[in-house]
Structure 1
Amino acid sequence: MKPRRNVWAGFGSTAWLIVVALPLYVMISATIQTQQGYSSHGPLSFPTTFTLDNYVGAFTSGFGLYFINTLIVTLSVVAIVVVLVPPLCYSIVRSRSRFATGVFRLFLLGLAVPSTAVIVPIFYLISVAGLYDNLLGVILPTAAFALPVCTLIMSGTMRDITPELYEAMAVDGATPVRTFFQLVMPLSKGGLSTIIVFSALQAWNGFLFPLILTQSESTRVITLGLFNFQTQYGVNVPGLLAAVVLSMLPVLLVYLFARRALVQGLMGMGGK
């Protein structure tokens, strides 16, 4: 049969492509213009001059230090999540005790608590612990608020593993530790990739905890470093957007390489 053309679907797809591509064009074109040229011609104009001074200015204004601090926070949060979540989910899925069920419900309760609602107690605890204006004071609460969602995703992935496989490992005389490393973890790669990407995005894009729990220039992260392009005379839009583009590149690379595992893990298909 000859396929029928769906004109309205093509029109809608084209309109949606324009909606998505227009902000990207405005952002990229602004980063290669001077501030004077951008102000005189407007955001939608085609750039008449080409310059990379905005990207150079982003690094000279301290972007390199902000990038390193953000990378330290992100890698630390991911490491905490990867070390704690898989064993926790394994015990929740395999144990039938009320204690394990209560722990899982406690983590689910964490999904209903926004960070803005408890920022004052967190600030007090971090200050008493002597971690104020320290990257560790940002890492710990960021990882704590990533744990509930990661636990929910990883436990759903592990529940997809059939009981027959556990029984086969038990017949072979495998201990719970051996079963975890040789059976559960290899079959939970999708969920593991999902929680890594999710926790990395949470840490990389975090704004509230760095804003409240840090103060000095040496502990500033990228999301706070963008304020450097705002002065008392206005906002350096090309320089600001250049810093935004540089901060987006690591996130885009992570998503490009892990998008399939991320989608499968969020759909509960990571263990299949």
Structure 2
Amino acid sequence: MTKRRPHYLAGAGSLIWLGLVGLPLYVMLAATVRSRSEYARGGPLSFPDHLTFDNYSGAFDSGFGQYFLNTVIVTVSVVAIVLLLVPPLAFAIVRSRGRFTSGVFRLFLLGLAIPAQAVIVPMFYLISKAGLYDNLIGVILPTAAFCLPVSALILSGAMRDISPELHEAMAIDGAPPRQIFFRLVLPLSRGGLSTIVVFSALQAWNGFLFPLVLTQSDSAKLITLGLYDFRTAYGIDIPGLLAAVVLSMLPVLLVYLFARRALVQGLMGVGGK
């Protein structure tokens, strides 16, 4: 049995990577449990003398709770729209050979080449004319629309990995397309479904441009805009700001921890067979 030699270069690289990742995390977490005066006196790298959680409670006192709730509503609504529209569309793309379906799929793929910044002015005009300005619905609809192309591409790739023999076997047994879709395709596409859920949730949760342009009042403000409240005329409340950042990261982190395996499997199936 050959003895493995230690790989010092790989170990050194791992330590450097750990420092690059761990140092910013330490600075962020340590700042959230320190007072503003202690942070200014000791600097970002110093160890906290007295732990305090006033920054977290102060974030909610400044209206962060309302911003958090608004962001949850937008995120859940965007994910629901994507899950309602994309699976039937992806199933039709994979199973249909008609020109109309192919044309619709190509039209969706064109959305990948159009950045949100290029259409923000006509989007603002449409949302205003529809009476949805400064309303959460006015943020939900365009956010979901920009999630649809990538989601359709991911899920159609995952559905192509399902063996055609399974479709044919259920069809021979007399199963209609609707039954095939619900009893065969959806259960075998869990990886792709998890991927589009995480993707659309991240797009909605971290969205900045649409909330910035399409909302104005505090009642419709999202987390990404609410972080500006920690900036005053006398400076920035860095411990309070970082506490709000940590709170805004927790839901996304939990979603990733529970769906990371299905997320990787779904991304591996994007290209199809």
Indicate whether the TM-score tops 0.5.
yes
1:157 matched residue in structure 2: 158
Q: Which residue of 2 aligns with 1:78?
A: 79
Distance 2:184 2:264 in 1: 22
Separation in structure 2 between the aligned mates of residue 139 and residue 212 of structure 1, nearest angstrom: 13
Aligned to 1:254: 255
Question: Is the 8 Å Cα contact of residues 156 and 270 (structure 2) preserved in structure 1?
Answer: no
Q: Which residue of 1 aligns with 2:221?
A: 220
Distance 1:50 1:98 in 2: 64
Task: Tell me the SS of whatever aligns to 2:200.
Answer: helix
Q: Hey, what does 1:180 align to over in structure 2?
A: 181
Question: Matches of 1:73 and 1:195 in 2, distance apart?
Answer: 16
Residues 124-183 of structure 1: per-residue CA shift (max 9 Å, x gap): 000000000000000000000000110000000000011111110110001010110011
Q: How does 1:33-48 map to 2 (within 5 A)?
A: 33-48=34-49
Distance 1:4 1:97 in 2: 59
User: Quick one: which amino acid aligns to residue 176 of structure 2?
Assistant: T
- Say whether the 8 Å CA contact 2:159–2:185 is kept in structure 1: yes
Displacement after TM superposition at 1:263 (Å): 1.3
Q: Secondary structure at the match of 1:132?
A: coil
- Structure 2 CA distance, aligned partners of 1:268 and 1:13? 30
Q: How far apart, CA to CA, are the structure 1 residues paired with 2:97 and 2:194?
A: 27
User: After superposition, what is the alpha-carbon deviation per residue over 1:32-91, rounded to whole angstroms, capped at 9, x for unaligned?
Assistant: 111111111111111112111100100000111111100000000000000000000000
Q: Which runs of 5+ in 2 are unaligned?
A: none
Between the aligned partners of 1:22 and 1:109, the Cα distance in structure 2 is 41
The alignment status of 1:111 with 2:101, answered yes or no, reads no
2:39 maps to a residue whose letter is Y
TM-superposed deviation, 1:3: 1.4
Contact 1:188 1:270 in 2 (8 A): no
Match of 1:237 in 2: 238
Report the Cα offset of residue 190 of structure 1.
Answer: 0.6
Residues 191 and 271 of structure 1 are in contact (CA less than 8 Å); yes or no, is this contact kept in structure 2?
A: no
CA contact (8 A) 1:89 1:158 kept: yes
The SS at the match of 1:111 is helix
Q: Deviations over 1:74-110 (max 9, x none)?
A: 0000000000000000001100011111111111110
CA deviations 1:180-216 (Å, max 9, x no partner) are 0011001001100110111011101111100100001
Shift in Å at residue 2 of structure 1? 1.3
How far apart, in 2, do the equivalents of 1:4 and 1:119 lie?
57
Any conservation in 2 of the 1:31–1:239 contact (CA below 8 Å)?
A: yes
SS in 1 for 2:113: coil
SS at 1:33 equivalent: coil
Q: Does the CA-based 8 Å contact 1:189-1:270 persist in structure 2?
A: no
* Corresponding position of 2:24: 23
Query: Could you tell me which residue of structure 2 aligns to residue 99 of structure 1?
Result: 100
The TM-score, its normalising length taken from structure 2, stands at 0.98
d(CA) in 1 for partners of 2:270, 2:194: 12
Amino acid at match of 1:115: A
Match of 1:146?
Answer: 147
Structure 1 unaligned blocks of 5 or more: none
Residue pair 1:123, 1:213 contacting (<8 A) in 2 also: yes
- Cα distance in 2 for partners of 1:82, 1:149 equals 13
* Structure 1 CA distance for aligned equivalents of residues 106 and 220 of structure 2: 35
Give the distance between the partners of 2:264 and 2:19, measured in 1 at CA: 25
What amino acid does structure 1 have at the position aligned with 2:46? S
Equivalent positions of 1:203-214 (< 5 A) are 203-214=204-215
Letter in structure 2 aligned against 1:136: I
Q: Structure 1 stretch 142-151 or stretch 48-57: which is displaced more?
A: 48-57
Distance 1:40 1:125 in 2: 50
Aligned length: 272
Segments of 4+ moved more than 4 angstroms: 269-272
Percent identity, please: 72
Q: For residues 169 and 5 of structure 1, what CA distance do their matches in structure 2 show? A: 54
Distance in 2, matches of 1:161 and 1:139, equals: 32
Amino acid at match of 1:194: T
Pairwise CA distance, 1:269? 7.2
